Chain A
Amino acid sequence: MKATVIVTLKPTVLDPQGITIHRSLGSLGMTDITDVRQGKIFNIELKDGRREQVERLAKEVLTNPVIEEYRIIWEQV
């Protein structure tokens, strides 16, 4: 099966990259977009049903809990 881990900065943490992207949208006329937050995506393949190590990976390696949070999307293939 596949797992997609999405890591984003916590809402309380300033995201200079997202802010810069958002700012530049004005000059493209994309004024309906009210906010942009940048994050990371990890595409992972794993043995069926063996979710534990992916959960550990997301928590202990892919995310710094001081500034980031994550969610995992599971996909049976």
Chain B
Amino acid sequence: MKFGVVIFPGSNCEQDCYYVVQSVLGQPVEYIWHEETSVKGFDAIILPGGFAYGDYLRTGALAKFSPVMNAVADFAKEGGVVFGICNGFQILTEAGLLPGALLRNSGLKYLCKFEYLRTETVDTPFTNLMTKGQLLRIPIGHGDGNFFADAGTLERLEGNGQVVFRYADSQGRTTREANPNGSLNNIAGIVNEGRNVLGMMPHPDRSSEEILGSADGKLIFESMVNALVERR
């Protein structure tokens, strides 16, 4: 099993992701420079956080034209496991691998703090070690995390159980007050219809060890390992 962590010019969380896979999970991992045209040999691809291409134009807008994204799209089409964190989520929506878009936070401020996430679906390669409704404490760090989709798309996402994580309070209530950025339906993370592509704004790569304040993020990476082992 081999993880790949894509580096775009402007990515800044690739080392966090690489470290978690290598040192916390003990799994093989390699960086993939954005000019690569193939992701052959990899079993899971992570698009890390950061500011790819400086987030110029729109977040993720220019990263989607990087050569590696064609390979990632083909990989996803064949059922490959793809995980976009923060800027990686924004890139996946821009590339059309996930529906919706991430708008400027409703409060216009960059937010960097811990949030509670309620696990909404466990039927994915990213949440198979969790129970439905399980609360995870995972930090956010973004200025554009306000999830938006048109009414039809939102209805489809909810109907298909594609909403994976919602912002909640410490009691698991998905209230307006628990919503940090104005995301529709408190959405923090979604999967595609095939359930093999996950995008989320919060950072499990920053919360996979107790020393960082929470190790809840590790459950997502461990679920990926679990899913990949079962596939073999």
Contact = CB atoms under 8 A, between A and B. Distances in A.
Interface residues of B, number: 20
B100 interface: yes
A64 B101 contact: yes
Interface stretch (A12-20, A26-34, A43-51): A12-20
Contacts of B149: 66
B103 interface: yes
A38 B105 CA distance: 15
Interface residues of A, number: 11
A72 B46 CA distance: 37
Max chain A C-beta neighbours (<10 A), residue from B61, B103, B105, B146: B103
Interface of B is mostly: loop
A12 B149 CA distance: 10
Interface of A: 12-14, 16-17, 20, 61-62, 64, 66-67
A54 to B, nearest CB: 16
Interface string B129-168: 0000000000000000010111000000000000000000
Contacts of B150: 12, 66
Contacts of A20: 108
B93 A66 contact: yes
Contacts of B22: none
Contact of B148 (A13, A17, A61, A62): A13
Nearest to A67: B101
Contact of A64 (B61, B99, B146, B182): B61
